[in-house]
Structure 1
């Protein structure tokens, strides 16, 4: 008995020919900017003042409210402060 070949039911998403690796937030330029801001802020949370290597880059004026990625709109926040700020912003 010969097995019948079935057609796939799911559409396969083809990889884009354009390589976007390293672009956008999380890409190499963003990581460099993040390191620059943390160094500028002396690895200090700009909210509570704790000094730590576990910092996140925060938009002072978030992107949804018209903020941008300019250095003057970026600050270092510790993880708890960043979570709290993000939660407050999401409620507005």
Structure 2
């Protein structure tokens, strides 16, 4: 749960701290982080190079759609993580 995460002085230390979680949770969480960072990177590039940006809601919708695609393609740990988050 994100509310139980400690405070870290670098992304590297935070990323490394994920090794404390169970293997399934760790793999799912890392997949989710990579997915979100990728979508933010794509949004950044659209704003800089194409001079068009999306609203926050549109970016969130893209992230949700991409997560659904990853899960449909077999990202089992991501699916487990998101299903646990929704049911909590």
Q: Normalising to structure 1: TM-score of the pair?
A: 0.29
Between 1 and 2, higher relative CO (CA 8 Å, sep ≥ 6) is seen in 2
Give 1 or 2 for the bigger CA radius of gyration. Answer: 1
Q: Normalising to structure 2: TM-score of the pair?
A: 0.30
Give the structure with the higher percent strand.
Answer: 1
